[in-house]
């Protein structure tokens, strides 16, 4: 049996898939002698090693300062199981077993007990984890002073040790806290308790669009009328944010929450930034750390300082595409390959899908996904008007 490490997030030029074959001994780090070169200043020259022995796969940390993590727990030596999440520096990969060319789906080993669960951190009692991303973990918590349930987001320990990462996390919370809109998850507060950096926000009982997609529907995605209803609400959220001069910079299906009532809310605003701040101060992060590559516009990959409201319109367009088809428009074995496909608009055309999507709806999505910003809708308001025209023509005004 063979295996692979599939990149979830990481530095530019990192391989999307690292094949692991029988007898392999694969060295990962930022040194030129490594088998997998990761241009990440948080990593050691030789950071960790994956070794196969008798059909079992072991991960070894090479006594690094930053550490190597499996499912959130720091390790020195760990046998890997299917779907384990490996973290080193700003890189996150998932371990997959492969048999006869197909990924083996097995339940992930139960992770060690989360040390934050049950803790009282300031005004909050942490109850249970409800989500995990590349930079943070989200918990359900109770705010003591207001006797209410909140979502309690904690910056991952590996990033909390980096002053620049801490500041970006808190800055995103401050920018998002000014947003008060029914289609945006409300940020309540941000702060620090000991070595824990957190933000608290409205608790939304529902699923992400990505989770809804996974449950099936036409072609593996959502029905067109449902995508329309969600997209219209996201356009409303973007109109509001645009009026305040804020861009989200990471719109994707997993950042769109849908309640049972059909109410949709945009979440995960750590990357949110004021347009004038981008223009005046720039952004000192490598482009690969800004947003999620399969849903990002080319300008955000190449020059983050050029990002504006049209960049969010592009990401909403790619999200609509993903919600309809069940998968993002762009994929590849390396980041370079994905960027090349984004720049060439090399994705499976709507006419290749056997989906009951009106051509006019596809036209709206494809315009939003235009490679060049000047070819997209100039503002979210124009996108909303185009969506409404489609809705009126097909009786979807209320998301039906």
Catalytically active residues are 250
Euclidean distance between CA atoms 2 and 102, whole angstroms: 10
With 0-12 / 13-18 / 19 or more C-beta atoms within 10 angstroms meaning exposed / middle / buried, residue 394 is middle
Structure tokens at 154: 């904690």
Structure tokens at 220: 């593996």
Euclidean distance between CA atoms 275 and 283, whole angstroms: 11
Distances (CA, A) of 168 to 162, 171, 256, 269, 271: 10, 5, 21, 11, 8
DSSP string, 265-277: EE---TT-EEHHH
Please name which of 291, 310, 316 lies closest in space to residue 301, comparing C-alpha atoms: 291
Ramachandran angles phi, psi of 250, nearest 5°: -150, 45
Q: Give me the torsion for CA of 256, 257, 261, 263, rounded to 10°.
A: -50
Q: Which residues contact 281 (CB under 8 A, 6 or more apart)?
A: none
Residue reference for tokens 């056997």:
354
CA gyration radius, the chain: 21
Q: Are 221 and 227 in contact (CB under 8 A)?
A: yes
């Amino acid at each position: 049996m063979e295996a692979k490490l599939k990149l979830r997030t990481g530095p530019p030029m990192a391989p999307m898939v690292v094949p692991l074959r029988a007898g392999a001994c694969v060295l990962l780090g930022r040194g030129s002698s490594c088998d997998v070169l990761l241009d990440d200043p948080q990593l050691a020259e030789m950071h960790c090693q994956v070794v196969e022995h008798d059909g079992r796969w072991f991960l070894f940390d090479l006594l690094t300062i930053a550490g190597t993590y499996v499912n959130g727990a720091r390790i020195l030596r760990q046998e890997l199981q299917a779907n384990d999440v490996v973290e080193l520096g700003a890189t996150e990969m998932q371990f997959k077993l492969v048999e006869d060319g197909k990924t083996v789906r097995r339940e992930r080993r139960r992770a060690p007990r989360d040390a934050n669960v049950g803790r009282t951190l300031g005004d909050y009692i942490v109850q249970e984890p409800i989500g995990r991303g590349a930079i943070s973990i989200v918990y359900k918590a109770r705010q003591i002073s207001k006797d209410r349930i909140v979502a309690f987001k904690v910056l991952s320990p590996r990033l909390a040790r980096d002053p620049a990462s801490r500041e970006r996390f808190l800055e995103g919370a401050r920018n998002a806290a000014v947003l008060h809109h029914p289609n945006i998850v409300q940020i309540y507060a941000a702060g620090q308790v000991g070595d824990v950096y957190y933000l608290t926000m409205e608790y939304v009982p529902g699923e992400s669009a990505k989770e809804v997609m996974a449950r099936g529907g036409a072609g593996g995605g959502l029905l067109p009328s449902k995508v329309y209803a969600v997209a219209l609400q996201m356009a409303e959220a973007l109109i509001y944010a645009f009026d305040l001069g804020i861009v989200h910079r990471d719109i994707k299906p997993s950042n769109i929450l849908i309640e049972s009532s059909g109410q949709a809310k945009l979440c995960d605003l750590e990357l949110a930034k004021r347009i004038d701040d981008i223009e005046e101060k720039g952004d000192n992060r490598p482009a690969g750390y800004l947003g999620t590559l399969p849903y990002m516009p080319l300008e955000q990959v190449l020059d983050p300082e050029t990002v504006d409201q049209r960049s969010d319109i592009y990401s909403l367009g790619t999200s609509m595409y993903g919600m309809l088809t069940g998968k993002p428009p762009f994929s590849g074995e390396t980041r370079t390959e994905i960027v090349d496909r984004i720049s060439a608009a090399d994705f499976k055309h709507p006419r290749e899908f056997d989906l009951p999507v009106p051509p006019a709806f596809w036209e709206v999505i494809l315009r939003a996904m235009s490679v060049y910003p000047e070819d997209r809708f100039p503002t979210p308001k124009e996108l909303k008007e185009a969506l409404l025209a489609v809705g009126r023509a097909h009786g979807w005004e209320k998301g039906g």
